[in-house]
Structure 1
Amino acid sequence: MSRSSRTRNRTRTLLAGTATLAVALTACSAGGAEEAGAAGRPGAAPQISVNLHGKHAKAGEPVRVKIADGRLNDVTVSDSKGGRLDGKVSGDGKSWTSDRKAAPGTSYSVRAEDDHGGSAKAAFTTGAPDRVNKLNLVPGNKTTVGVAQPLSVVFDHPVKNKAAVEKRLKVTTSNATEGSWGWMQDYSGKDRVDWRPKEYWKPGTKVSLKADLDGVDSGTGGGWFVRDYATHFTIGEQQVAKVDLDNHRLKLMRDGQPVKDVPMSAGTPGGDKASWRGTAVLMSKEGTINMRSETVGLGDAYDKMVDSSMRLTWSGMYAHAAPWNKAWFGKANKSSGCVGMSDKDAAWIYRHVQVGDPFEMTGDDAKGTVAANNGFGEWNLSWADWQTKSALG
């Protein structure tokens, strides 16, 4: 073989290798943000771009996928937690945008299909959050509560972006109950938002809350939410405890009918020992507890083990057994702020009430009205006033 023939053969071999390399590059991913391909050829990988890429992508942004040629048919964005970001393809088929935002500290994989049957992949990871916000939900999951129980969410850290958070809190009911969110500072000093029906719940109502907060920034000083939350509960029978402070009686009503009427003695009027008026909601049934006066700012007035204790406010107002005060039952208000009854009567009320039952306290012998954040005192606001507390107007 001549020198010129060998040169021509070597050149053809090198050119063939170069072509093979070019095909391989065309078929492979170009990296975290893009996938290269021969658009328009059936089954070929389309060329896509993703707005988020790398190992420190910015959290709190929707995922946007664009195609260079052709149209997007479907896009799947999966995360390392086993979840998926839903989204929509634009009308012209050129882009796809996720409904939710990318959460911090999460790895995502993207798979896009075009209208020619081709597919491309990409991946990215968002940076870790500087601070994580968490929350506490009331009522607890799969519980049954009374007709006055609101949904209540208390946050570990401040929530500056209240509207953004409220938009992700979805309440559904079995009977289209009308209600509204309202923001306040909890008695503990933390940010809190409650969902209250316009009127007391109807018995048997099924209620669900989906707090789809993963990827939401709560604002300066609050940090990111890095998970979703949910709770489901049922409304029990219709019960109202009517507390007449002036006539010293507690009457338990069920379905509008009285089922128990007992004498009681409430807080001594004229000072800090007086009871609250207005509607309180039974927060918890705590049984036998130690009550100490210094915990409610009354010095060393008492230190007692108290039976049948039913908490009404965070400030320390209870309904409970108070046998030491029996001389005043049905006659005068002589307690240190609580609604006291005989052992027998308190035990009966304790057995029959449920968490979430309203205690409607009326009369002049009171020191004021229960505040919205002192337990669940939002029922003391008109519906119009309550609605103004929503961050969504």
Structure 2
Amino acid sequence: MALAACGDDAKKPGAVGGAGSSSAPAPGSSAVPESGVVAADGPLKLSVTPAAGKKGVPLSTEIGVDVSGGKVTTVALKDAKGKAVAGELREDGSSWVPAKALTASKTYEASVTAVDSAGVSKTETTTFTTMAKPAKKTGTGLYLFDDHTYGVAMPIVVEFNPGIKKKDRAAVQKRLFVKSEPAQPGAWSWTSTGTQVYYRPPKFWEPGTKLTVRAAVGGLPTGGGRYGDQDRGASAKIGRSLVMKVDNKTKKMTVVESGKTVRTLAVSLGAPKHPSSSGTMVVMEKMAATVFDTMDEAPPGEGYVTDIEYAQRLTWSGQYIHSAPWSVGAQGRRNVSHGCVNVSPSNAKWLFDKTLIGDPVTVKGTGDKLAYGNGWTPWDLSWKEFVKGSAIAVPAELANQDGQS
């Protein structure tokens, strides 16, 4: 992989506010649905956590529930002023997750009610106090924005600074939630550094899917005495299907929309000294006009400053699809770029006007393999390889699904 092979090695597009399991606790009532906790037969037993009188509780604390001989019907959490806190029970019934991080240095009262098959109920109450504001925090980000429409390969990307160490990833991953409508299975997978974790389904999202994401990491212990800086969340939509396929052998890009080829574009890829990366990438950023400046990182005599139109970022290292009027004569014939996918001005504008952030781009046949993590790369792995990056065991039924990469 060539550093800043074509474009600038600019800062990443801003990540905002974040994503865990396939179902997301969200703001709502404290009532527990009929599908909630159903326990084995026997006398009704119920216990809750945190323990009564416990102090210094993390702001991410959940109301733990252990029930047998019945089912939980209600969980209620109130602050010291009696104000109700919204939340939702986890699918496995193990705990109730507040809809947002709790307030530092405050006392809360939780009340949990369960009922047995004869209608006899039991209620347990606990009072606890949260910790003071954490002194050391882990910065977080979510590359998903409210009310935006994304391409079918848009991964959910949650970012951590500093990265999360392996021993701490499972606890963090349990606080990342995704809901998809229509429902589609998916899994999380960490990059080696722990600075990012991706969520994707086995195959591209269905067009029209609605996504609701929550990274419930505000006040969550993240290791090394650090705590997540804040909860992050977004609701977004997946648009139509548009897939770009680039073949170095033919020097062509095939654009497939809703299963039909709509245009074939001549391209010029990276010259032998600056090969383009082969692999499946995702459009991460779009700029109608920008400046590529490689003077700081290029070898002496090879840097340049160039005005660019219709740039679509594919990698963090600086590979883009963009307008290249200077290489039109080479497009479709030979590779002359610094690693980018060069197209003509008219084709660049046409493509720029059609694409969405999250549209997939697959390049094949070049002399360089895409490095995992150089961009949003979860689709460059097979599904079976992707799920190996989860910090929590992925059910066999999900791990063995047919995937797309």
TM-score, scaled relative to structure 2: 0.70
SS in structure 2 of the partner of residue 57 of structure 1: coil
Amino acid at match of 2:217: L
Matches within 5 A, 1:138-149: 138-149=143-154
- Structure whose CA Rg is larger: 1
User: In the alignment, which residue of structure 1 is the partner of 2:27?
Assistant: none
Task: After TM superposition, give the deviation of residue 100 of structure 1 in Å.
Answer: 4.8
User: Which structure has greater helix proportion?
Assistant: 1
Distance 1:61 1:274, change over 3 A: closer
Q: Is 1:206–2:203 an aligned residue pair?
A: no
Distance 1:203 1:190, change over 3 A: same
* Separation of aligned partners in 2, 1:320 and 1:386: 30
**Contact 2:270–2:338, Cα closer than 8 Å, also in 1:** yes
Matches within 5 A, 1:65-104: 76-79=76-79, 84=85, 99-100=96-97
Matches within 5 A, 1:1-393: 51=51, 53=53, 57-59=56-58, 76-79=76-79, 84=85, 99-100=96-97, 105-110=104-109, 124-160=129-165, 161-185=168-192, 191-220=195-224, 223-225=226-228, 227-269=230-272, 271=273, 273-294=274-295, 297-299=298-300, 300-363=302-365, 366-393=366-393
**Contact 2:189–2:388, Cα closer than 8 Å, also in 1:** yes
Task: After TM superposition, give the deviation of residue 362 of structure 1 in Å.
Answer: 1.5
**Contact 1:112–1:120, Cα closer than 8 Å, also in 2:** yes
Q: Gaps (5+ residues) in structure 1?
A: 1-48, 66-72, 89-96
SS in structure 1 of the partner of residue 390 of structure 2: coil
* Separation of aligned partners in 2, 1:159 and 1:202: 31
Task: After TM superposition, give the deviation of residue 126 of structure 1 in Å.
Answer: 2.2
* Separation of aligned partners in 2, 1:74 and 1:175: 28
* Separation of aligned partners in 2, 1:80 and 1:322: 63
Distance 1:383 1:306, change over 3 A: same
Task: After TM superposition, give the deviation of residue 111 of structure 1 in Å.
Answer: 6.8
Amino acid at match of 2:180: T
Amino acid at match of 1:165: V
- Cα offsets for 1:97-121 (capped at 9, x unmatched): 96359957241232769999x9999
Distance 1:127 1:260, change over 3 A: same
Task: After TM superposition, give the deviation of residue 210 of structure 1 in Å.
Answer: 2.2
- When the two structures are aligned, how many residues end up with a matched partner? 324
Identity among equivalent pairs (%): 29
Task: After TM superposition, give the deviation of residue 83 of structure 1 in Å.
Answer: 6.4
User: In the alignment, which residue of structure 1 is the partner of 2:31?
Assistant: none
Task: After TM superposition, give the deviation of residue 75 of structure 1 in Å.
Answer: 7.1
* Separation of aligned partners in 1, 2:247 and 2:151: 20
TM-score, scaled relative to structure 1: 0.72
Task: After TM superposition, give the deviation of residue 307 of structure 1 in Å.
Answer: 0.7
**Contact 2:63–2:110, Cα closer than 8 Å, also in 1:** no
